[in-house]
Amino acid sequence: MNQLTSNKINCDATHPLDCTTVSSNSVSWTVVEIEMLLDLPFNDLIYRAQMVHRQHHDPNAIQLSTLISVKTGGCPEDCGYCPQAARYHTGIQNLDMLSLEEVVMTAKIAKERGASRFCMGAAWRGPKQRDIDKMTEIISAVKALGLQTCATLGMLKSGQAEQLREAGLDYYNHNLDTASEFYDEIIKTHGYQDRLDTLQKVRGAGMNVCSGGIVGMGETRQARAGLIAQLANLGPYPESVPINNLVQIVGTPLHGAETLDPLEFVRTIATARISMPKAMVRLSAGRQEMSEVLQALCFLAGANSIFYGDTLLTTDNPGVEQDKLLFRKLGLHALQLGSENVL
């Protein structure tokens, strides 16, 4: 068995599977070390991930987030996976921004169904000040419902993160998408450093960071390791880490990409859990195509958050009743607001 650096994994020599990871945000991970985790025998990797998970989280609690698109279509960027890019012919229309009343009504329904966090996405390169003005009003109204708030609005300019925080925004999502060395294969209209700069602005404003990536875009295992290492080394690592399995949309450049092996997806979840032990690791896009067995393996590997609701921005998601049935089968329950990282 590969032996990982001792300051990350401490193993009893008489039983090499009796391992725990340190939870400090100051620990750094190399890409090679993440690859070593990914290379472990499957049972050993899941065992370690589940041990780490139980040290920091209720093993049967799942945080429920609902995600809506407050501004759909017309994005000027060229992200190869995104059906909302104006340059691709995907059938997604460029729509006006939703009204305050429409967003609040959707948020109320999400809360009634059991969601504790309400996430709002907009297909912008980055928000203009008039967009910030509208979003701050919406954020305040959603926050007043007793929900955690999250937004993903693109790249932020100086001062915008502070305005969002003052309005009551709890989390800002800006995914790294993939490893830096593979990034130019997916996106060319902005660079990797642009994403890191936005995350720095979010952290500097005192907000929680939500950042993860997409797998199944034709990347190598080394690139997946690079993504996890980059996230784990953000210092501190994100409080919320969404792991997306590519949803292939006709008309986007990544339609037809080779499908990622399901067990490799589970390995990615487990590695995220071990390297970011206190984070909420979220099963995000692609869950509609996952069997109940695959989702159960992901929960066993340390995933403890899902997007909850019939749609994710512009793609399908398992229905609420379908998720409730799966939770009953697995003995899972919704995490209550404010009880993250209680162990």
The residues carrying an active-site annotation are: 75, 79, 82, 119, 150, 210, 282
Which of 36, 51, 62 lies closest to 332 in space, CA to CA? 62
In DSSP notation, 132-147 reads HHHHHHHHHHHHTTT-
Q: Is 12 exposed, middle or buried (0-12, 13-18, 19+ CB in 10 A)?
A: exposed
Q: How far apart are CA 208 and CA 206, in angstroms?
A: 7
Q: What does DSSP assign to residue 318?
A: -
Half-sphere exposure of 333 (CA within 13 A, CB side): 6
State residue 32 phi and psi, 5-degree precision: -60, -40
In DSSP notation, 57-103 reads S-TTEEEEEEEEEEE-S-B----TT-TTBTTS-SS---PPPPPHHHH
Strands 311-312 and 315-316: antiparallel
Question: What secondary structure, in 3-state letters, does 19-55 show?
Answer: EEECCCCCCCCCHHHHHHHHHCCHHHHHHHHHHHHHH
Q: How far apart are CA 269 and CA 48, in angstroms?
A: 12
